[in-house]
Amino acid sequence: MISKLAKERMEMDNKIKAIIAVAVVAVGMIGYTQISKEMNKDPEITGLQAEFVGKVGPGGSLSKNMFKVTGTTEAGKVVQINDFSSKTTTAAENGASCEVNIEAQGQSATVIVDITREPVLEENIGYPNEKSAKVTCYSNGDLEFTGKGDITNFTTFPWSSSTYSHVYIDDSLKIENMDNWFEGNENLVYCDNLPKTLKTMKSTFAGCTAIEKTPDYFQCSNLKIMDYAFSGCSALKEADIIPVNVSSMKYTYADCISLQSPISLDKTSNLTNVSGLYSGCTNLREATTIPDSVIYMNETYKDCINIKEAVKFPKSIEEISAAYAGCTGLLTGATIPESVINFTDCYNGCESLNGKLEINSDSDSFEGVLMGATTNGDKLSISGNCGNLLAIQKNASNSNIVMADPEAASKQNERLNREKESQ
């Protein structure tokens, strides 16, 4: 018979054995879990590759299962990567594709995500082969021009009745004429670039009130005509550099009221006409240097009320009618060269104009040149080799406009009269 003490010892031994058994099992489980984690952990890599294997529409959600991500180990082995991340969670709203950056273990890879879009308009526009080029408008507002070679010259535009906001043009297309293509489209906000073969873009984006930046066109070395190209683009704030061979820029940025800085013309060498270039640009803060090749500057800065100083007129200039008319903030005028044949209304309404103004042109086309100028109480002293100074002063009918040297002005007038009589 087992004594009470022995029984108690046996019970204690059994409890200890049970505790030990549980501990052994627990340690085993911990070890197993650790091994399991190690087995499921992505191996260390030195390079990362990613591929888009899913399908997504414009603005659609991007999930991890849409990407196949692999890594390259130090040994050169390609292994599957399960633990990766991306800051981009949705596809782009516009465009045929977008870039997504994948990251894992301090490595990164960029993958192109193709976007599935539904076409609402498709039309062949190639010339002479119709199928060599195509225009497609998609339900998300994308308008794409794709293909190779030439396209037809349009009398009406197939896309004019479509709703589009983003324009994409294939680099392989040989387009020379884009006159009026997108004129009046108030929904257009973006165009990536224009074809290098482009020669004329008259009124191409005129009235596109939502566009804030011009497409890239500096590479268009054949471009010559930009008349009215962005006129009325009231949201426009930024423009590309003007190509070297552009010859005419009549009213190119007229009424672009959001434009604050002028576009440099330093790269142009064949520019002759900038009439109305910045007319109505009420927020323009300064005038830009005009190349010496320019002949026509009629209304170039008309109603640019925030310009303070006029820029020097080019050596070849002939017409500057209303060049600064309505520039109520203009303080300093530029000398009117001898070459000018028409300077009517040049400084008309420049109420703040003061200081000195030199006029060297004998042209009879001067009516209104200083009408309404210098009305704020300051004085404007006029001089120069102009035989019509006395007549200009009289035409202005303003006591604030005075003759710097009345005697010299009288002699210049006599000289001009003699020249007219001898003709």
Each residue's pLDDT tens digit, 369-405? 999 999 998 999 999 999 999 999 999 999 999 999 9
Tell me if 96 is assigned to some domain.
yes
Which residue, chain included where needed, has tokens 């002939």? 318
Same domain, 55 and 109: yes
pLDDT at 153: 82
**pLDDT of 277 over the 80 cut:** yes
Number of domains in the chain: 2
Same domain, 106 and 62: yes
Tell me if 123 is assigned to some domain.
yes
Residues in contact with 264: Cβ distance below 8 Å, sequence separation at least 6, in sequence order: 241, 242, 288
Same domain, 101 and 123: no
Map 106-117 to HEC letters. Answer: CEEEEEEEEECC
Each residue's pLDDT tens digit, 127-181? 999 999 999 999 999 999 999 989 988 888 999 999 999 999 999 999 999 999 9
Q: What is the pLDDT confidence band of residue 62, given thresholds at 50, 70 and 90?
A: very high
Same domain, 89 and 126: no
Contact 310, 290 (CB under 8 A): no
pLDDT at 43: 82
Which residue, chain included where needed, has tokens 């009289």? 394
Q: Among the three residues 174, 207, 222, which one is the final residue of a domain in this structure?
A: 174
Same domain, 137 and 169: yes
Q: Among the three residues 70, 87, 114, which one is the final residue of a domain in this structure?
A: 114
Each residue's pLDDT tens digit, 225-264? 999 999 999 999 999 999 999 999 999 999 999 999 999 8
Tell me if 121 is assigned to some domain.
yes
Q: Is 375 helix (H, G, I), strand (E, B) or coil?
A: coil
Same domain, 129 and 109: no
Same domain, 51 and 108: yes
Tell me if 180 is assigned to some domain.
no
How far, in Å, CA of 320 to CA of 339, rounded? 11
pTM of the model: 0.85
**pLDDT of 40 over the 60 cut:** no
Same domain, 160 and 127: yes
The total number of residues shown for the chain amounts to 423
Tell me if 64 is assigned to some domain.
yes
Closest CA to 232 of 202, 252, 262: 252
Same domain, 68 and 127: no
Which domain range does residue 159 map to?
Answer: 117-174
pLDDT at 9: 63
Same domain, 142 and 109: no
Tell me if 231 is assigned to some domain.
no
Same domain, 150 and 128: yes
Q: Among the three residues 174, 190, 210, which one is the final residue of a domain in this structure?
A: 174
Tell me if 187 is assigned to some domain.
no
Listed range (11-25, 110-124, 170-184) with the worst mean pLDDT: 11-25
Same domain, 109 and 142: no
Tell me if 191 is assigned to some domain.
no
Burial of 146 (0-12, 13-18, 19+ CB in 10 A): middle
